[in-house]
Amino acid sequence: MPAVFCVPGENGLPAKEIVTTKSRNSRGAAASVLSAWLQTGEFPSRLMDGIGEDRAFVMELVYGVIRWHRPLLRIRSKFARRKPAQSLDAFLLVGLYQLLFLDNVQEYAAVNETVEAAKRQLGAGAGKFVNAILRRVQAAGRDEIMKGLVEAPAAIRLSHPDLLFTRWRERWGEEKTVALCEWNNGRPDVVVRVNPAKISLEDCAAAFAKAGLEAAPHAFDPKRFLVLPRGAHVAQVPGFKEGWFYVQDPSTSVAVDLLAPRPGERVLDACAAPGGKMSMMAERMAGEGTMVAMDVADERLAHLRDNLQRLGWSRVHVVQGHAAKPAAVCDTLSRRGTEPCFDAILLDVPCTNTGVLRRRPDARWRFSARRLEKACQMQRAILSGAASLLAPGGRMVYSTCSVEDEENEAQIRAWLSAHAGFECIQTRFLFPPDSGTDGAFAALLQKR
């Protein structure tokens, strides 16, 4: 019988069970995606658009190589006398990942299928090179190779950039930094938030169980979130089409709970796509009041509308706009008959995503001091723009999925020092190894 293993889902979709008897076409597709990623740094999810056959297995190979990129490069450098071209290197990394990090992939399949895929796409010489390196790795033995990694610097062994590892160690110390890196290298759980407007958590869990899915309450927020078993296909889970649940990490609840929107209020979610937080706010408001969900890109707006429709919140007004450009937002809202003045505003701002590296392993390799500064500049602009849309006495929650102080506490302190009309009421920060969730920060600000 072929071995079976679970791979993480994409964009919040559940993990899938994958047999290891996958064709060389899967290895070739993964290598093509990785070659493009190595050359361009593009988002892997975008590079995988159009891949249908064995998509989940391709995702496992792609994200696995990206997650364990540094130790894989170190191992490759020990067994290859020269650094191969990126297109060839991609095949080699795919093979190494299978041999060293996938327990249930049989070695002969990992080697033979990857070699044949390299031959097919790059020629006989490429297949010969990949075969030679992978055979050397086989001969050396997985256990011995992995033992050798113990001698590597922690950032290499734990597959994180030196910059991130050093920053975190200076802030939290070695032990907490290692714990965070280990958390980031784990497989993400698939968590759903039950929609109480449609069904109770108990009834939802019972329906899952009846379908053979034993979902468990999430320890962080057991009254609202369930952890699905690995192997579930979200679109086939009972209640998906009916809007019983939404795939969402419990960390997202913190910002909404701080804002605490009430029925009858005028509420704006200024960076709303894909809609999880907006739907939570609509639940708290019982659908009563003015609810506006705003985002920038057309494709994100389409996804936002679909999610809100499925969850039953068709009364939410979806508009295109950028909170950093309040004049344009006011014009858009006025033309739609909505007063551009809100009692409560949620700002789930763009950030460096260092709190969600478990779900988005590629984000760790994009982190840089320049990207951090650009993110902080955009966050300040959004804060200032949204503040002008807030009614006197209104409240605003600023939130990120970052663990960087510059984007969180330090950002709020700096902004408040330049905006005397606001005060910070409360902040919350989730450190993933402690909370068992994605990393998150939220600050509740009040306008005097």
Determine contact, residues 72/65, Cβ cutoff 8 Å.
Answer: yes
Determine contact, residues 245/192, Cβ cutoff 8 Å.
Answer: yes
Q: Report pLDDT for 23.
A: 63
Please write the tens of the pLDDT for every residue from 132-185.
999 999 999 999 999 999 999 999 999 999 999 999 999 999 999 999 999 999
Q: Report pLDDT for 103.
A: 86
Active-site entry in 6, 204, 271, 401: 401
pTM for the complete prediction?
0.91
Q: Report pLDDT for 55.
A: 82
Q: What is the DSSP string of 378-412?
A: HHHHHHHHHHTTEEEEEEEEEEES---GGGTHHHH
Q: Report pLDDT for 231.
A: 60
Query: Does the pLDDT of residue 11 top 90, yes or no?
Result: no
Query: Does the pLDDT of residue 54 top 90, yes or no?
Result: no
Query: Does the pLDDT of residue 319 top 80, yes or no?
Result: yes
Please write the tens of the pLDDT for every residue from 94-116.
999 999 999 888 999 999 999 99
Nearest to 59 by CA among 109, 22, 104: 22
Q: Report pLDDT for 36.
A: 95
Mean model confidence pLDDT for the chain: 92
Averaged pLDDT for residues 369-376: 98
Residue 206 CB contacts under 8 Å (≥ 6 apart), including other chains: none
Averaged pLDDT for residues 292-318: 95
pLDDT band with cut points at 50, 70 and 90 for residue 16: very low
Averaged pLDDT for residues 64-85: 96
Give the three-state DSSP class for 345: strand
Label residue 304 left, alpha or beta by phi (over 0 means left) and psi (-120 to 50 means alpha).
Answer: alpha
Query: Does the pLDDT of residue 17 top 80, yes or no?
Result: no
Pick the CATH number of 191-247 from 3.40.710.10, 3.20.20.80, 3.30.70.1170, 3.30.1330.10: 3.30.70.1170
Query: Does the pLDDT of residue 226 top 90, yes or no?
Result: yes
Residue bearing the bigger pLDDT, 422 or 82: 422
Query: Does the pLDDT of residue 241 top 50, yes or no?
Result: yes
Pick the CATH number of 250-447 from 3.60.10.10, 3.40.50.150, 3.30.1050.10, 3.40.50.10490: 3.40.50.150
The percent of residues above 90 in pLDDT, for the chain, comes to 87
Q: What is the third-level CATH fold of 4-152? A: N-utilizing Substance Protein B Homolog; Chain A (1.10.940)
Give the three-state DSSP class for 278: helix
Q: Report pLDDT for 24.
A: 65
Determine contact, residues 97/64, Cβ cutoff 8 Å.
Answer: yes
Averaged pLDDT for residues 356-375: 97
Query: Does the pLDDT of residue 302 top 60, yes or no?
Result: yes
- 401: annotated active-site residue: yes
